[in-house]
Amino acid sequence: MLLRRLVYPQIISASKKLFLQNSRCINSNLSAKINILGIETSCDDTGCAVINGDGKLLSETVHSQNLMHLRNGGIIPDIAQDLHRTYIKPTVNKALEEAHITMEDVAAIAVTLKPGLPLSLAVGMKYAKHIARRYKKPIIPIHHMQAHALVARMHHKISFPFLVLLISGGHCLLAVAQDVDKFQLLGESMDCAPGEIFDKVARRMKLRNVPEYSKMCGGQAIETAASKATNPHQFKLPLPLAEYKDCNFSFNGLKTSVLLHLHRKEVYHKTVAHELIPEVNDLCAAMLMASTRHLIHRTQRAMIFCQENKLIPEENKQLIVSGGVACNNYIFSALQMLCNETSYEIYRPPPKLCTDNGVMIAWNGLEKWRKQIDIVKDFESLDIESVSPLGENLIEKVIAARISTKLMKINTKV
């Protein structure tokens, strides 16, 4: 994904220190000679990275299909597969080259096998098996969402258990990460993901026609347009699932309401083919604020559920926000406010590690390697899964708890 460069100087310098501390803790005999190659092809980015046993990132390469999909008005699975096929070998080779290693120096190949677009996942799996066979290396199968959840541990000292909010173009979920391979799902989207509605609405609003937004993904274009809003409150949007005392999400209704407002304004202004409505910035801001309120509302309840069910001890009150939508500074600031209120620490990976990338796959591979779990030498029977649960499903338990929450007031300007 093409993302606006966001700068987090204080986070980066603090995380560097933590990273060094972490690195020193690891037994150097065990770790120094280990290199994990990570391969990610679950959606539209061909990502690859090499991380050594000390957790040091040696290289990262990515071939983004964003521009092609922008041109096509969305991801076309066959085209995504073709592009993965074309770029997988050069992307892997470049990562090895930039890490100054060869396949002989690789201890294991971590590869995303689930969940994702089947045609895309298959390319990564086949290539990983091909090189694993050729160089006699084991494969570490990776769950894409677990990798999103754990990558923040690469830069921050975050101990298990912790709460995770994963918000991307394909997913929206709240979970507790108890360990590298133990997750508890508290809530998930019942229809689409926030990034998906941002992308669809941005397309329908014709934001691409504004040169400044022409190369941005939908979410980023909406965030930028929203920052120019002057009167977002002219658009009233509902709080999704307000009556449901669970941690699930729904974004479809919000999308429909935004599109209705858009349609009415287009009719009112008699806009022609390529024109945007004059209130486009305000409508983007209203949509961003409504999505944020929904995310806050469900996260608030998840925090109470964790406390009541002793899933996260007092000293571990940490929220990790990851996935492409976590790049959004308005959403992150609102979550920061919630965390201030509830005495949670909040973390998010740097923006390029929030969106899909090979680093999170290599990192998840290293976390598994350190625990010696899921290292598959006999990998021929490994297969992809387009849909895959994150872990233990606690959604019914959350529903049964019927926790009431008063939506926190968000005092942040778009």
CB of 199 to ligand KG4, least distance (A): 5
| Stretch of residues binding ligand KG4 (CB under 6 A), selected from 75-83, 162-170, 227-235, 292-300 | 162-170
Closer Cβ to ligand KG4, 363 or 379, answer by number: 363
Query: What's the CA gap between 404 and 399, in Å, rounded?
Result: 11
Query: What's the CA gap between 55 and 155, in Å, rounded?
Result: 9
List 279, 356, 367, 374, residue binding ligand KG4 (CB under 6 A): 356
List 121, 151, 152, 325, residue binding ligand KG4 (CB under 6 A): 325
Residue 273: which of 318, 208, 188 has the closest Cα?
Answer: 208
Closer Cβ to ligand KG4, 53 or 218, answer by number: 218
Closer Cβ to ligand KG4, 41 or 59, answer by number: 41
195 binds, among Zn ion, ligand KG4, none (CB under 5 to 8 A by kind): ligand KG4
List 115, 170, 240, 391, residue binding ligand KG4 (CB under 6 A): 170
The phi and psi torsions of 381 (rounded to 5 degrees) equal: -85, -5
Closer Cβ to Zn ion, 356 or 367, answer by number: 356
Residue 223 sits in the site that holds ligand KG4 (CB under 6 A): yes
CB of 187 to ligand KG4, least distance (A): 18
Tokens of 9: 């100087």
CB of 54 to Zn ion, least distance (A): 26
219 binds, among ligand KG4, Zn ion, none (CB under 5 to 8 A by kind): ligand KG4
Closer Cβ to Zn ion, 53 or 115, answer by number: 115
Query: What's the CA gap between 239 and 269, in Å, rounded?
Result: 28
Which residues face 139 on adjacent strands?
109, 376
Residue 220 sits in the site that holds ligand KG4 (CB under 6 A): yes
Closer Cβ to ligand KG4, 207 or 306, answer by number: 207
Long-range contacts of 196-201 (CB under 8 A, 24+ apart): 196/169, 196/170, 196/251, 197/251, 197/252, 197/254, 197/255, 197/258, 197/287, 197/291, 198/222, 198/287, 198/291, 198/325, 199/74, 199/169, 200/255, 201/255, 201/258, 201/259, 201/262, 201/287
Closer Cβ to ligand KG4, 41 or 248, answer by number: 41
Contact of 213 with 194, CB cutoff 8 Å: no
Say if strands 57-64 and 45-52 run parallel, antiparallel, or are unpaired. Answer: antiparallel
Q: How many residues bind ligand KG4 (CB under 6 A)?
A: 22
Closer Cβ to ligand KG4, 362 or 403, answer by number: 362
Residue 332 sits in the site that holds ligand KG4 (CB under 6 A): no
Closer Cβ to ligand KG4, 170 or 232, answer by number: 170
Binding mask 80-119 for ligand KG4 (x = CB under 6 A): ----------------------------------------
Residue 188 sits in the site that holds ligand KG4 (CB under 6 A): no
Contact of 385 with 115, CB cutoff 8 Å: yes
217 binds, among ligand KG4, Zn ion, none (CB under 5 to 8 A by kind): ligand KG4
Segment 2-21, which members bind ligand KG4 (CB under 6 A)?
3
Catalog residues that contact Zn ion under the rule CB under 5 A. 168, 356
Residue 219 sits in the site that holds ligand KG4 (CB under 6 A): yes
CB of 192 to ligand KG4, least distance (A): 10
Closer Cβ to ligand KG4, 207 or 276, answer by number: 207
List 258, 327, 334, 361, residue binding ligand KG4 (CB under 6 A): 327
Segment 190-209, which members bind ligand KG4 (CB under 6 A)?
195-196, 198-199
Contact of 116 with 43, CB cutoff 8 Å: yes
Q: Which positions lie near ligand KG4, rule CB under 6 A?
A: 1, 3, 43, 168-170, 195-196, 198-199, 217-220, 223, 323-325, 327-328, 355-356
